Amino acid sequence: MKFFSFIYKIFLPFLLLLSITSSVLADDLSPAEDVFDISEILGDIESIETNSDTLEMPTINSRAYVVIDRKSNTILVGKNENQKKKMASTTKIMTALVIIENCDLSDTVEISKKAASTGGSRLGLKTGDKITVYDLLYGLMMRSGNDAAVSLAEHVAGSITNFAELMNKKALELGLSNTHFVTPHGLDEDEHYTTAYELAILSNYAMNNEIFAKIVGTKNYTITINGYPRTLTNTNELLGVLNGVYGIKTGFTNGANRCLVTCCKRGDMDIICVVLGADTKKYRTTDSIKLIEYSFSHFKYVNIQDIVAEYFKTWKEEFGQTFTITKGISNYLDITYENLPYSSIPVREDLVKKFQVYINYDPVLHAPVEKGTSIGTITLELDGNIVYSGNIFVNNKIEQKNILDYLTYFYKNFSEIFNTILQS
């Protein structure tokens, strides 16, 4: 027994060190050297704003990033935004969304042994604990609890594997073709990935859910575990600190490095900023601030609906009645174009006057022409990139001439036809 006691004393410090190292390398927890006071970089905001007279992109540490406009999903700035990357705890954006859409939030969950033993960042749940789905969601998104993620997955789908199927099904519904989920928490897996752009699209969709938006926008909240209160503080270092920030999620694993998804609104402009693969927590915070400040400084909304409408009106006046409809009872076409999916997009200030509109159409049609027939396309480009492309179609129907139409025409124009024959 003394031998085992001796071994225990010798190896206990190493076991504790291993435990600490494992947690440090786990999701949303940062090594001691990565902890910083955000006030250290808040002063940089003023310098970023002061230097806003230059259009040059700020230096960004993160390996992939993107800023999109929430109204149109238009990309403002991006780098490697379509490359597949590990996403760490930003995974929980999809986890929370699937739970909210598929579960009674008032349900009480009893924590399983598997959930309670999940490593990484934790809410601190123990086997047998009882907590509502609603409170688990706060633990999931505010404290990034991996134990909460597994508990929710088991409650809704019975297992992590089954829950991942629900996550991937939702991803397909949203058109996220470069996103794949294996777990509800985001600990590193080779087949668990997304892109900065698709993560932004997912986040935009999720933020339209009032319950989701409320949770990720909460700085402090008190949940109840086994009838006892516990107050949580959000891990999002920009929430309540940077002007306009109202969500949404942090993340960190060894494979993903530091990640942050941020929603920010100032005036009419509402954006989502995603940074993936920052080397340190300070870098991910600074990168996010730089990208947000750059976007608000150099972009403004332009009404592209008016640009397209004005061009189409001018074109229609000049060419709208130059169509030839063979065998048609009329050459008159009432033409219009598809509605734009959004009226305005944010445009960098130096590109505002670089819009171009192009119309392609076939001037010769063959009757009958049905109402709704596409006769061409109208395309809006900005600096060589397509912003909008839609069909031009007809609002009226042109019937094909029949024998009676030809006889009527011959009767009305007999004298003219006869004189033509004589002159020839």
d(CA 223, CA 342): 40
Q: Is 21 exposed, middle or buried (0-12, 13-18, 19+ CB in 10 A)?
A: exposed
d(CA 377, CA 238): 44
Of 80, 81, 77, which is closest to residue 67 (Cα–Cα)? 77
For 102, the 3-state DSSP assignment is helix
Token output for 159:
């297992």
d(CA 237, CA 222): 19
For 50, the 3-state DSSP assignment is helix
d(CA 396, CA 328): 13
Token output for 8:
């225990």
Backbone torsions φ then ψ of 380, nearest 5 degrees = -110, 125
d(CA 277, CA 254): 10
- Give residue 233's identity as a one-letter amino acid code: T
d(CA 239, CA 267): 18
76 and 91 Cβ atoms separated by less than 8 Å: no
CB count within 10 Å of CB 200 equals 27
Strands 108-110 and 130-132: antiparallel
Give alpha helix (H) positions in 182-330. Answer: 196-207, 210-216, 281-298, 304-319
CA distances (Å), 30 to each of 122, 150, 252, 257, 392, in order? 13, 21, 8, 10, 55
**Adjacent-strand bridge partners of 83:** none
- Active centre residues (catalytic): 89, 92, 144
